[in-house]
Structure 1
Amino acid sequence: MAQRTVLLVLFDGVQSLDVTGPLEVFTGAENQAPGTYRIRTASLDGGPVRTSSGLTLVPDTSLADAPAPHTLLVPGGKGTRGPAPRLTAWLRENGPRAERLVSVCTGAILLAEAGLLDGCRATTHWAYCAKLARDHPAVQVDPDPIYVRDGHVSTSAGVTAGIDLALALVEEDLGRDTALTIARHLVVFLRRPGNQAQFSAQLAAQTARREPLRDVQQWITEHPAEDLGIEALAARAGLSPRHFARAFRAETGTTPGRYVDRVRLEHARRLLEDTAGGVEEISRASGYGTPEAMRRAFLKALGTAPAEYRRRFHPAPTR
C-alpha cells in the first residue's frame, strides 16, 4: 500500500481540537500500520500559530514547502470567520490537487470561499450552517449530520466530529479492525451514523429556568418507558396541562411531545449501539411499546430501520 501524505493546515485562531483530534487518529493509524501515513502540519509562512484557546502550535513547514498531500485537512476556529485571502488563494490553487479534501467544523467556510465546495453536499458546525448556506448558495448545506462525504470531499460538524470523520477515513484506508483499535484507545465510538443529529435531545433543547420544568426534563430522560403524556408530565410539574405545555415550550424552545420523541429515539439508539437486547425489548424500554412504533420513529427521524441501524455498529462477521 502506498504511503498517504496527510497535510493539516494551521492558521492563527484555529480550534486546537480540530487539529489534534484528527491528528491523534491518523498518528494512531500510523503506529498500528507503520508506513501508511506521512503526517505533516503547515502554516502559510511556516511560523507558529496561536489557537483560539491560546495554545501555540509549531508547524512542520510552510504551505509553500509542504509535500503534495493525498489528504488535505482544513480545521476550523475563529480564524475562519474573517477574511483570509492568502490562505483562500492557496487552497483554491492547491486543493484540487489533493485526492481527498477534508474539513473540520468551520474549515468548511474556507473551502467554500476557495470555491472547493461548489456543487457539493456539505456540513459544518450547527451554529454556522445557516451562514455557510447564505454566503455560498452553490453549496448544498446539510445541518444535521456528524459528517458528510461527497465524492473526494468530506466535511464534518463541530470540533469532535473531526475525530468521527478521521476514523471513517482510516477505516476506509486500513479496515475496521485498525479503526476500532484507535477508537478504543481514544475512548470514542468507532462509528456514529452519518445522519445522526449534531447534538443530543438534551442539548438540542434549552434547559428550563424553573425548577419544576427542569425536574420534568430530567424525569423524561431517566424514565423514557413511563407515561410521558402531557397530563402525566403536567401533574409532575404541578401545573395544568395547558399551562405546562405553554411554559415548557417557552423555556425549552420545543414542545413536550417533541422533547419526549427525541429522548426516546436517543435512548433506543444507544441501546441498539451498546447492548445485545432484541428490538422488541428495546422498543418497550424506550417507551415505544411495539417494534413497529419504534421502526416508524427511526424511519422518520433517521431514514433507516432499527435493524439496519444496529448493523452499522455490529456488522455480521466475514468468513
Structure 2
Amino acid sequence: TTHWAREQQLVREHPELAVDCDPIFLRDGRVWTSAGVTAGMDLALALVEDDVGREVAHAVAQEMVLFLRRPGNQSQFSVPLWSRQPSTDPLRAVVSAIHADPGARHGITDLAAHAGLSPRHLQRRFTAELGTPPATYVEGVRIEAAKRALAETGHPVETIARRYGFGTAETLRRAFHRRLGVAPSDYRDRFRSTREHT
C-alpha cells in the first residue's frame, strides 16, 4: 500500500506489484508498507507487537501518546478522516447533534428537525456539503464511538450496541465487518487500552 495520492504512480512504475490503497498499512510476508506518516506510526506499533507482544506495543503507544494503534485494514477513506466539514449553520447543527449523542435517534426526519429543513432537502444538502449521505455519516460516528467504548471499557458488546444506536450486538457485528473487516470482540482484544489491560 501507499498514500492514496500515489497509487497510480506506484502502479505505473511497478506493474509487478499488487497495489491496494485502501488499508493504512499492509503486511505481505516479510514486507510491510504504510500509507503515510501517521500510518507509519501504526505500522511501527504493529512491528513492535509482532516482535515482542501486545503489552510492550501498548506501553510504547502510551509513552508516545499514541493512545491506540489503528488496525492495518482500517480504510484510508474512513468517515472521520475524510468527510468534509459543513459550511452552513443548519448542517453544523445536524453534525453537532450526531456527535453529541451518537446513540440517539438520527433518522432523516430527526436530523431534518435539527436543521429546520425538509427531509428531502436535508438529504441533498448534507450529501453535497459533506460528501456522504446522512445515514452513512451517522453509522461512521456510531462505529467510532463503539470502537472507543470497546477499547476503553469492559461493557458487554450488547450494551455498547444499544448505547450507540445499533440496537443489537448482531447489527454492530455486521457494521464492524462491513467497515473494519473485524468483529467487535476481536477489535476489543487487539486494541484495549493499557489501563484496561492492567
Q: TM-score range by the shorter chain?
A: 0.7 to 0.9
Higher relative contact order (CA 8 A, sep 6+): 2
Structure having the larger proportion of residues in strand: 1
Identity of aligned residues (%): 55
Does the residue aligned with 2:32 lie in a helix, a strand or coil? Answer: strand
Judging changes above 3 Å, is the alpha-carbon distance between structure 1 residues 220 and 127 closer, same or farther for their aligned structure 2 residues? Answer: farther
Query: Which residue pairs with 1:155 in the alignment?
Result: 33
Distance 1:130 1:230 in 2: 37
2:24 aligned with 1:140, yes or no? no
| Map of 2:175 onto structure 1 | 297
Matched residue type, 2:63: H
Question: 2 CA distance for matches of 1:165 and 1:148?
Answer: 8
Alignment correspondent of 1:196: 74
Structure with bigger gyration radius: 1
Letter in 2 for 1:266: E
Gaps of 5+ in 1: 1-122
- Answer yes or no: is the 8 Å Cα contact 2:43–2:72 preserved in 1: no
CA distance in 1, matches of 2:117, 2:153: 37
- The equivalent of 2:106 in structure 1 is 228
Amino acid at match of 2:59: T
- Report the 3-state secondary structure (helix = DSSP H, G, I; strand = E; otherwise coil) of the residue aligned with 2:61: helix
Secondary structure of 1:141's counterpart equals: coil
CA shift for structure 1 position 263 = 1.1
Structure 2 residue ranges without an equivalent (≥5)? 194-198
CA deviation profile, 1:239-281 (whole Å, cap 9, x unmatched): 1111111111111111111111111111111111121111111
Going by fraction, where is helix more abundant, 1 or 2?
2
CA RMSD of aligned residues (A): 2.0
Counterpart CA distance in 2 for 1:310 and 1:130 is 35
How big is the shift at 1:143? 2.3
Change (3 A) 1:231 1:138: farther
TM score, norm. by length of structure 1: 0.56
Separation of aligned partners in 1, 2:12 and 2:106: 39
Q: Distance in 1 between matches of 2:146 and 2:55?
A: 26
The structural deviation recorded for 1:152 is 1.2
Alignment match, 1:284? 162
Rounded Cα–Cα distance in structure 2 between residues aligned with 1:301 and 1:275: 21
